[in-house]
Structure 1
Amino acid sequence: MSNHLLPDCGITRRAFIAGAGAFLSVRAATAASELPVAVMQLGWVLGANQIGEIVAQHHGYFANEGLALEIAPGGPNNDGVSSVASGSADIGQVTSSPSLMLAISEDLPVRSFAVLTRRHPYAFFSLPERPIRRPVEFMGKRVGVPATGRVLVEAMLLKNGISRDRVEVITIGSDMTPLLNGQVDAVSGWVTDRAAINVLGSDVVTLELWNCGVHLYGMPYYAATTTIDTHPHLLEAFLRAAAKGWERVFHRPDEAVEILVSRFPSLSATDERAATGTLLRYVFDDQTLRGGFGTMSRARWQEQLDLYDTLGQFTNRVPGTEDIMTLRILDATAGSRPCLG
């Protein structure tokens, strides 16, 4: 699964207004489908992190809910949040909760209605000959991160009372070679990115961001406030179908990987089996065992808001939890989302 970084949110209300068009919550049926089309906008290239939605498409779970789901890829030149805010897409998903918080702080009218992972699958990797197993062991070390990941190092240091001048942060790309050649003592990335991690060897030392005290959500689902207020049944139908797809991945991961690789032949089935097993441990946990797929809490969102406020990341205003999230869709689908963990 690809290593999605944590992008800075350069979205502004001006960009939203400029991109706003006629709002269509559910698109009209096309010649290829008699069902209305719901568009899900990603913040990255479509691939393995959507294995649950892809399986749900394959088995007709969205069709059973009266929808034809279209997944729109994002990328460097395609701003996912503004597309959803403007009504160009109905549902969105960003890699990490801070991207959504920063967008909303700039007054884009969107809110999260569920999250894929309550524990963010982001980590620092080091080699066994120079291991970093605890935050305190970063002191005196060099950490290589993408430019957009520097704030995560700042958050980790803040949470652990480590002075910023005790750690050298070096900007690198997504390539982990700088760790192998000794340029840095640690690199960061997603634990689900097996292709990247495999080059570091089977004995690579992994220190999760979560275990450093930085508690972020991974891959939250969100929608425009207009959609949440006036078309909640669309989001409920989407969440029921997506949850069923992820449930099938949980019970039949090999089948799910076969479906994924048949759609994306360039992917390695071996890597994706390993990545799917890892991702499922984040998608289904002790909280989903109690609250069901996609569950989230107001308290956890507030913790993240407080952290980013302390880091000085909000340049316009500090949003509240009522601006960031809603439990309305989760409550409406409580009996339909699998309680697994």
Structure 2
Amino acid sequence: LSVVGDDRIDLLLSELGLASYADVYFATDSAIESDSETLAKFIGAVAKGWGWVHANPEQAVDKLVAAYPEIDAGWEKKTIPLVLKLSFDDNTKKDGWGTFDPASIESQIALLDQIGQYPNGRPKAEDVYTTEILELSAAERPKLGAPAS
């Protein structure tokens, strides 16, 4: 966001009534079928990392800048609250980091279908997502909401 500068308006898709998910991960059907435990361990580890960032946002920026010195620490410290707002909300507070509402997938598919984005036919929602990995990693995913502004 530093490229845009301070004179900007941050408008989230969720503020327009559209579901928006940060931290989306993709896997092939075969990986989910044959290696779901490994995928769950990965998501659990990533979730723990996000839990640490939630509790230590300034330290997280310091670590990021130490690893990537070309990043502007000042800008990152200004934008970390927005990043956390994208990654944590009431749903993640209830069901853990990475949670999503399957009904929102259907509404997004319907919207994309309405504007002609599926020349080969509209996919079924259940063919484009799974909650299996989230279920397997539930105990590892912190239940945290958006930090106070």
The residue type equivalent to 2:3 in the other structure is A
Residue 93 (structure 2) pairs with residue 303 (structure 1): no
1:231 is the counterpart of 2:35: yes
Match of 1:245 among 49, 62, 65: 49
Match of 1:198, as an amino acid? G
Residues 96 and 143 of structure 2 are in contact (CA less than 8 Å); yes or no, is this contact kept in structure 1?
Answer: yes
Q: 2:94 aligns with which of 269, 281, 290?
A: 290
Give unmatched runs, 5+ long, in structure 2: none
Q: Percent identity?
A: 34
Q: What do you get for the CA RMSD once the two structures are aligned?
A: 1.5
Q: CA deviation at 1:199?
A: 4.9
Give the TM-score, by structure 1 length.
0.41
Q: Does residue 196 of structure 1 match 2:3?
A: yes
Contact residue 112 and residue 118 of structure 2 kept, 8 A: yes
TM-score of the two chains, using structure 2 as the length reference: 0.90
- Distance change >3 Å, CA 321–CA 212, structure 1 → 2: same
Shift of 1:255: 1.1
CA distance in 2, matches of 1:208, 1:295: 18
Q: Going by fraction, where is strand more abundant, 1 or 2? A: 1
In the alignment, which residue of structure 1 is the partner of 2:116? 312
Off by >6 Å, runs of 4+ in structure 1: none
Query: Do the aligned residues in 2 keep the contact of 1:261 with 1:269 (CA within 8 Å)?
Result: yes
Tell me the CA shift for residue 197 of structure 1: 3.4
Q: Which structure ranks higher in relative contact order (CA pairs < 8 Å, sequence separation ≥ 6)?
A: 2
* Number of corresponding residues: 145
Q: Which runs of 5+ in 1 are unaligned?
A: 1-192
CA deviations over 1:78-113 (Å, ceiling 9, x no partner): xxxxxxxxxxxxxxxxxxxxxxxxxxxxxxxxxxxx
Quick one: distance in 2 between partners of 1:270 and 1:329? 36
| Structure 2 residue aligned with 1:21 | none
CA–CA distance in 2 between the matches of 1:209 and 1:295?
Answer: 17
1:216 and 1:304 in contact (8 A); partners too: no
Q: CA, structure 1 residues 284+206, in 2 after alignment: closer, same or farther (shift >3 Å)?
A: closer
